[in-house]
Amino acid sequence: MASASPGEPVERLVARLQRRYAGRITGQLVQPAIAARQRPLPAELDPRLAQALAARGIGQLYSHQREAWDRVAEGRHLVIATPTASGKTLCYNLPVLDAVLTRGVKALYLFPTKALAQDQVAELNALNQAAALGIKAFTFDGDTPGDARRAVRTRGDIVVSNPDMLHQAILPHHTKWAQFFEGLAFVVVDELHSYRGVFGSHVANLFRRLRRICRFYGVAPRFLFASATIGNPAGLAEALIGDSVAAITDSGAPAGPRHLLLWNPPVVNPDLGLRASARSQTTRIARLAAKAGLKAIVFTRSRLMVEVITKYLKDVFDRDPRRPPRVLAYRGGYLPSERRAAETAMRAGRVDLVVSTSALELGVDIGALDVAVLNGYPGTVAATWQRLGRAGRRLRPSLGVLVATSEPLDQYLVRHPEFFFGASPEQARIHPDQLLILLDHVRCAAFELPFEDGETFGGEDLPEMLRYLRDQGLLQHQGGRWYWIADSYPAQSVSLRSVAEGNFVVIDSGEGAQRVIAEVDYTGAPGTLYEGAIYMVQARPYQVERLDWVGRKAYVRATRADYYTDAIDYTRLKILDCFESRQQGATTSAHGEVHLVRRYPGYKKIRYYSHDNIGYGRIELPDQELHTTAVWWQVRPAALEALLPDRQQAIEGFLGATYALHHVAVLRAMAELRDLGRAVGDGQGTWFATLGSDGRGQCRGADNEALEPTALGRFIPTLFLYDNYPGGVGLSAPLFDDAQILVRDARALVAACSCPAGCPACIGPVLPGDEDRALTPKAAALAVLGLLDGT
């Protein structure tokens, strides 16, 4: 009997899914295997490096790897943007290692995470050992011992680090790195596509500081970027370094055959348009894959969902605690030691199912995977392909499944598979001149080197900033230079990952222990670590017993609770300044600065499996306030009253319209839902609208007291979409430019939905009986969107 080919298990699983669940598969695509396009090694390549490649079985290069060599030889900044597992690492390693061997230069490698940096050092060491090259490649991160740091600075040919260490430990102490900087010829930046939004805006300023210090030491290193597929790799790279960058986007690497399925959960309540949860479908597909002997990864969009799905899969596959786990969770917030152990287990093939957030979207080597299941649309086409590409990395046949949630974007994609399969990857945006971010890095740069009169840094007025810092007692102007005179160390107080600072640690205080088990960023803490919350680590539940808000500590104890918790939050906004506005019929759209107050009044207790709401608890936390930027719409009262005279219906219409607009805007901005907030209120912060516990639209005052819509006086509801970061990060301005397009897209989304009265796929959940109302919530939302559209 002939042995089974490696592809048969995947093919059998696909056939089984198509046979048993044909009604749930709304689109499918088979990408055939791709043959390699190869070119010879460069004749000028150092023979020692050619020997190292031969020892690892590499006698030729893929076409894009050879093109990268040629572009670097021309002296260009370069970005390589080719699919997952196409050999991008060799594109930059080859010219860098050759230059180190032949010219004795130095190189700095930057990765967004420690795990990626450690993978790279392992790859460099493997090449080193293959031909005794003698190149010294060292990791420099927060785990590097103090006594080893001097050796890294003085002896390292290639230093592999991350932006956070460059920001806090290298640039502020550049005099200790003088020998390294004087020989610096290359800066390699991997996973370019991850440098967008807040993080990318910080890193663009970090590179301004890096190039400024390089000029001080008389060097001008070339930047080599590597990226997953995005719509504007050269544009993003150029925005990060302020210089022209050549792009290579045509891959010559081979690929195994890939099956892709779009999966829509079945409708369980036609009247309300309710579908089975994406969570239940995701766990079903993952179970089938594991039982077929395949290794799978499940991507979710939140840390909470990672833990819930991990629990459900562990309940099936890890019932015996004496056996090594077959299911592992992987997400931000876990301690480094726990993440490293998980990575080792994955690479060794000891794990069958991995459940992760976007933390494993990047190129960490996690071994050979056969199946990738996405629990919900990640928010961008680029991220979707990146996650699906984590399966089939060893040229084996693979399966990718995108399981839709009930949210509008998900439903649009699975109902229009041709849009997803034919869509171009989105463009990544950054806003490096956002005032708060820029000012933070001007402070850091002034600490590193004095500013000269007339020197530039970014797009804002530098003299005005320097005078402001002087007035704050941080700088002194003398002899045409601005000197740092404060005792503070500015980089320590600036986080590259957010505009707020101060992580919380989670401490297990059970049985007299005081053991740190996780950490949570500042913005996520109010909705995660309130007293009474269930906080999970590898699906193990802990209950928060005490939260020390000032000390940034949450004390937890292991529990056997049969439920998890989900925080309830309310948001009200007040318009502070209108930058620009536009009139369209009876509607004004505007863009400006707002003050936001977010309150967490309580939380829901949700039972596992049934997902019944089994109770509520109170949250006693200070209000979270921030200044940010927003785009908003207001309708003239007379026009609104003529169309929707019932204020209760008007409130529900605005809430439904806001829900649709929010999802459409996220798609256009290449953002995640959490990056952009939504709210309905009066624009003055005196009342806001939300869904009450009864599922109806409800108005609440500044003190969170319930208000009757008839008691609101002059009734001018305002619909807000706002940057969910202090100061804003540049999302709302382009949304204002596209305001009319957004409204029309949202209107088309709601109108095309087949539900009778509204559903999570268009305006949000509605209540039983709403389809029998004279004016359904869906009709009210369409009426509001019509007014916003000027009709």
587-638: pLDDT as tens digits? 999 999 888 888 888 888 998 888 788 888 988 888 888 888 899 999 888 8
Cα separation, 375 vs 280, in Å, equals: 10
**Based on the number of CB atoms within 10 Å of its own CB, is 91 exposed (0-12), middle (13-18) or buried (19 or more)?**
buried
**Based on the number of CB atoms within 10 Å of its own CB, is 103 exposed (0-12), middle (13-18) or buried (19 or more)?**
exposed
Hey, what CATH class is 8-33+255-422 in?
alpha beta
Distance from the Cα of residue 409 to its chain's centroid: 17
pLDDT for res 780: 92
Cα separation, 437 vs 215, in Å, equals: 23
Return the amino acid letter for 569: D
| Every domain of the chain and the residues it spans | 8-33+255-422, 38-248, 435-493, 504-561, 568-788
| Cβ atoms 687, 650 nearer than 8 A | no
Q: 38-248: same fold as 8-33+255-422?
A: yes
Distance from the Cα of residue 220 to its chain's centroid: 31
pLDDT for res 695: 63
Cα separation, 523 vs 500, in Å, equals: 7
pLDDT for res 142: 76
Beta strands per DSSP E along 585-675: 587-607, 613-618, 624-635
pLDDT for res 694: 60
Say if strands 78-81 and 106-110 run parallel, antiparallel, or are unpaired. Answer: unpaired
pLDDT for res 167: 95
Degrees to nearest 5, angle at CA 629 with 628 and 631: 145
Cα separation, 445 vs 434, in Å, equals: 16
Please give the C-alpha separations between residue 283 and each of 15, 324, 373, 609, in angstroms, as whole numbers: 18, 20, 9, 11
Assign a CATH topology to domain 38-248.
Rossmann fold (3.40.50)
pLDDT for res 535: 92
Low-confidence ranges of the chain (pLDDT < 70): 1-7, 115, 272, 361-367, 393-394, 423-426, 497-502, 670-672, 692-695, 704, 710-713, 727, 729
Helix (H/G/I), strand (E/B), else coil: 107: strand
* Distance separating the N- and C-terminal Cα atoms of the chain: 71
